[in-house]
Structure 1
């Protein structure tokens, strides 16, 4: 009888220790290897330790970039350049957020064409596009077409193609 009681006591103690281990291992912080992906507009300040920041869409304050070499590796980026970035947070304070970039992709932007006369309209031609999805971001109208889905698919792995819904 005494061995049964000590066995039950050991079992309860082991369960309590395991429960404590699981509860203590939980954290509310994002792990360092967890990257986020977002679209934003580059802001370049030619002063200080961190000359670049990115104003992400749907954010009020720009994120300060700690590894600006990622932005200059493939040509100098200018203020206003639209970017798609993969990043993680390195530090957050009351008024500032620092990020470390993992990947950077420039987004091609062009002004709207406003033909002034019939000759300019004919020069542009008639090449309509189908818009799959449109949204406002960084003060610009952005959109996705079936063609951009196919381009994304070719650049990504085949399982990504299924997620984008193209062949």
Structure 2
């Protein structure tokens, strides 16, 4: 019976890793929207692509990239959270002292919950940093190297869209540090 309870707890923890809170979704989307706007500055300032003329293109591609990047943030978050949790699981120990068993268990549970929150926040930060770097580097490579001879509007659409897609595709891999 005890082994079944432990196994159920482990499965419940794994299922909860897949659930994304509304707060996390908002944080992911806002960050994705901000990083998706960076190429607008690139194309407006460097390539002189008019903002007034292409506002619909800028808006739709930015919104698309933000939505796609939100999935990438969540994928990397789950991977980083599991790895960080596994690495830190052994760091919390039961306190030794004159306290009763109930007090020790309560203190242990509180420490474990605090560590879980810190680990979650760290995983969110790592996910955002990792995906933003891949997206921005991919955008630059697509813009300046691969699609440099393509007309600017099509260059922008394909570069930003493909960069978001590549970032999300790479976030689904299992080889993350």
TM-score range, shorter chain: under 0.3
Bigger strand share: 1
Higher RCO structure, 1 or 2 (CA under 8 Å, sep 6+): 2
Rg (Cα) greater in structure: 1
Bigger helix share: 2
